[in-house]
A and B are shown apart, each in its own frame.
Chain A
Amino acid sequence: MNGRAVAAWSAACLLGVLLSTNPAYRVLVLAAVLAAVLAGVGWARSRRLLAGLGLALAAAGLLTFATNHLGGDVLFELPAAVPLAGGPWTLESLVYGTSFGIALAAAALAMTPLSLMLETHQVVDALPAPLARTGAVLAASLNLVPSVARSFTAIAEAQRMRGWRPRGPASWGEVVVPAVLTAIEDSIQLAEAMEARAFGSGPRTRYRPPAWSAADGAVAAAAGLSLALLIAARALGLLADWHPYPYLVLPVITPLGVAACLPLFVPAWLWRSPV
């Protein structure tokens, strides 16, 4: 799998949810992203992530619903004395918050194939040559993450055996401080190891330039097409924003807007088999 093809698709999805506040397009992009992730990553590996994103979506919607007291269709009202949540709770805020949550979830999910479907080196290879050194540092940092997580767990367990109990944020210092100090020491050790392997000695080359398969080409072409149509629709005013206030109105849906989102479903079909 080619990292650049995946990155192009992720970028097209991001643009799809960022270019317009229209919830219809956001739902379409979220559906494309969800289908692609389920096809490429599978339910078992993605279910925790999806559950987390579902929670984030609900939290974003609820926060907007609770704090944004605009709109004419009042569902109920809390006393004004209640901090932040006091005032009218409106249907418009609820719908707007949900739309915002969908955009957030789609944007976050669009980036997951980069971490769940690609090896670290594939992501690094997707970067342009001038960023290759930065990419290597990024890859090394990502490689440290599992050992930092393991170290945190081991320290928490060992401190618990010394009688530590989590009681309030301050008590976590006994775990967080040694974990951070250990992570810093590990990072210095890794930097030392990279230096000892000629890192930074001059221009770099790549072990194997990333290969392009027909499927990668199709994904990149679909992403390019989607990007072009999205920009064209926006320029022509056919990707109109949607404003739910003061009263809820249905979003305007145009054929060009829908056509711009549809190519984003291509990976859902191409990534069905194991990658």
Chain B
Amino acid sequence: MALASLECLSYWYPLGQAPALTGVDLAIEPGLTLVAGPSGGGKSTLLRVLNGLVPHFHGGRIAGAAAICGLDLVRTPTRRLARHVGFVFQDPERQSVYGLVEREVAFGLENSAVSPAAMPDRVDRALARAGALHLRGRRLATLSGGERQRVAVAAALVLEPEILVLDEPTSQLDPAGTELVAGACRRLAEAGSAVVVAEHRLQPLLSSAARLLLVDEGRVGTGVARLVGLRRPARDRPTLPAWQLRGIAVGPGPEPVLDAVDVAGGAGEVVVLMGPNGGGKTTLLRCLAGLLRPLAGRVERGPGRVAYLPQDPAALLHRPTVREEVELTLRRAGEGEGAGAVLAQLGLAEFAERYPRDLSSGQRQRAALAAVLAGSPAIALLDEPTRGMDGAARRALVGLVEALRGRGTAVVIATHDAELAAEIGDRVLAVEGGRVVEAELAPPPGAVTVEPMLAQVPA
């Protein structure tokens, strides 16, 4: 029996001309439902319909009908639907209220006026279902990304909802953290809950999914997953050194996070840094960029500009148009070329005159890439560049990195994305336990793409 049913549902955001969802007919049943599709296609909007954030939190216009756990969507506010639908957001840091795990999990119970005597048992039960019982007494600030996201899952489960919805829950996690969250989702689905997960990286959950939905341009249909093999062209080893770290000890505080680091990279070479969250990848990039002074050792860089892409590049955007963002970088770098080339390369030509923060998250991320990597930097340092990226943005990134490589830019990428490493990396450095060592470059594992099952996509 369907726990949620949407009938010919369309939705327009406030001031939106085009609908974000168009004529959606959907039934959510127990088991794992995966939601795939490009960024800006309507995945997050669809998920927010399931707990009433759309339309109650975001406003706008809605047409059609939806019943969630027997409750009418339009007549039932999110705070009431919350007792039936648990929701986990993308960034664990931006959804926590308290600093202590057990208090954080109990927040929903406090809001629902559950008696204090009943709370500890329910908190324990939720933590156990999310595989996080051992974290009960911990501070959130001391947890890894994967642990924090499991606490967020427990916090959503504590009200014992019939449906659990997760919006890109693993986009910021390393493989270990991803597996922890994916494991929790699998267990819940096997136990009979309805679990709805929107993700760009589908592999960890694909084998357990009961159904796969494809959301694109506001339309929802059934998707078919296909494994696409990746090819890695053979490349020559670079000869000109572009950067070198000699005997580096470095950390954000007085204690080094990384010690005795001796590594180097060449012009036109793509070096990939891999390792767990908190392992020191960002620290190494910041040291190489000159943003973090080493405690010992020497950083050597060749002449030329260093471009640095932070983990959340979209946060940089502040100019009135995408074009002006790119022109600002080029003007500062003293590079004469126009913004058009990089905008075209990233598929942003049609958005060049738009306000960057009005774009969808994927388009915004591409705008930030253009703003940071425009021109011809001598060294490009990219920190988790595929975080939360959809396929189009990812392809744009790969193309841009290849172009930079072709121009002789030394590229260093910190990432958890094994596909990206295998696809464009020349060398992989493992950053873990305070050390940086050469690692084997794995063959490209292939990527999962989702295509519409044409017969079932609404016209």
Contacts and interface: CB of A to CB of B under 8 A. Distances in A.
Interface of A: 119-121, 132, 136, 139-140, 143-144, 146-147, 151, 154-155, 157-164, 173-174, 177-179, 181-182, 186, 189-209
A195 B99 contact: no
Contact of B110 (A158, A192, A206): A206
B110 A157 contact: no
Contact of B310 (A144, A158, A177): A158
A157 B286 contact: yes
A182 B115 CA distance: 37
Contact of A163 (B100, B315, B333): B333
Contact of A162 (B80, B100, B156, B328): B328
B111 A198 contact: yes
Given A163-B332, A190-B95, A197 B82 contact: yes
Categorize the interface residue count of chain B.
35 or more
Given A121-B98, A154-B312, A199 B79 contact: yes
A211 B96 CA distance: 24
A154 B286 CA distance: 10
Interface in B299-333: 306-313, 315-318, 328-329, 332-333
A162 B329 contact: yes
A186 B316 CA distance: 14
Contact of B155 (A151, A160, A177, A197): A197
Contacts of A121: 98-100, 103
Interface of B: 51, 53, 56-57, 78-80, 82-83, 86-87, 89, 91, 93-100, 102-103, 106-116, 119-120, 123, 141, 155-156, 159, 286, 289, 291, 306-313, 315-318, 328-329, 332-333, 357, 371-372
Q: What 5 A-B pairs come out closest when comparing CB atoms? A: A163-B332, A193-B95, A161-B308, A201-B79, A198-B82
A158 to B, nearest CB: 4
Contacts, number: 165
B116 A206 contact: yes
Given A158-B313, A192-B53, A198-B80, 8 more contacts: A119-B103, A162-B372, A173-B318, A182-B312, A193-B89, A193-B94, A195-B56, A197-B155
B312 A196 contact: no
Contacts of A192: 53, 57, 89
Contacts of A197: 82, 87, 107-108, 111, 155-156, 159
B111 A154 contact: no
A163 B325 CA distance: 13
A191 B57 CA distance: 9
Given A160-B291, A161-B306, A198 B83 contact: yes
